[in-house]
Amino acid sequence: MTGYQHSSRILVALDCIIFGFDGEALKLLLIKRNFDPEFGKWSLMGGFLNADEDLHDAATRILFTLTGLQNNYLEQLQTFGAVKRDPVERTISVVYYSLVNIDDQDPLALKTHNASWIDLSNKPRLIFDHDQMVEAALRQLRYKAALYPIGFELLPEKFTVPQLQKLYEAIYNVKLDRRNFSRKIMATELLMGTGEKDLTSVTKKGQLFKLNKEKYQDYLNGYQSFLPEFTELSLS
């Protein structure tokens, strides 16, 4: 045992996979790089860990820098540490993924960082090992969304049941039965009627709901699966 002596430098970076939902498709927030290496190519938003930062604090800083948002769903995914993953210098990346409401973002922050929301189904090839990071994050999102109602983090404050169904269809890339989905969602007691209606809807399905935050916390802290039938879909 030689203590903490080490002659080589290893950088620690953080990469954030930021998911959004525009009412139709699951989106990914990407930046077009304006610096080398890989100038002009698509990338995740990332940055290096400061000496006085905890990992979660650094991920929160990066998310805020890009979107202007705080207190969003943010979870550490895994660490990527292949020796040659960064062509410039040995860099270990700790990856986080976040779920945000697109409507709440700061458009100026996106413009400043040359960022765009891209349909996940049309994702361009990303630099380094970022494609592998996105694949891992999508698997984790699908798994967690079956156990916990975290998908609500992607919705506006008020939403319709059809909007919620479209969200879960986008997450799992499946078509769901409307009546069956509505029945199961209402049984969770997570939805609270607002007495308002989506003015763009001409049917009673346009009723607006909001999330029962107390019940939401019960699901997050408890052991009851949210939509257990989606667990198999998360593994496919």
Say which CATH number the domain at 206 has: 1.10.10.10
Contacts of 153 (CB under 8 A, 6+ apart): 72, 73, 99, 100, 101
Q: Using only C-alpha atoms, what is the Rg of the chain? A: 20
Answer with the one of 93, 120, 147 that is the final residue of a domain.
Answer: 147
Question: pTM for this one?
Answer: 0.93
Report CA-CA distances (Å) from 171 to 60, 144, 145, 176. Answer: 24, 11, 9, 12
Structure tokens at 187: 């049984």
How many structural domains are present in the chain?
2
Name residue 57's amino acid. D
Q: Residue 110's closest CA among 22, 30, 55?
A: 30
Answer with the one of 88, 116, 147 that is the final residue of a domain.
Answer: 147
d(CA 72, CA 179): 31
Return the bridge partners of 28, or none: 19, 118
Residue 3 lies in a domain: no
Answer with the one of 118, 147, 176 that is the final residue of a domain.
Answer: 147
Query: 122 is in which domain, residue-wise?
Result: 11-147
- For residue 107, how far is the Cα from the chain centroid? 18
Pairing relationship of beta strands 26-32 and 42-43 according to DSSP bridges: antiparallel
pLDDT digits (tens, 9 = 90+) for 47-94: 999 999 999 999 999 999 999 998 889 999 999 999 999 999 999 999
pLDDT digits (tens, 9 = 90+) for 174-206: 999 999 999 999 999 999 999 999 877 656 568
Residues 74 and 178 in one domain: no
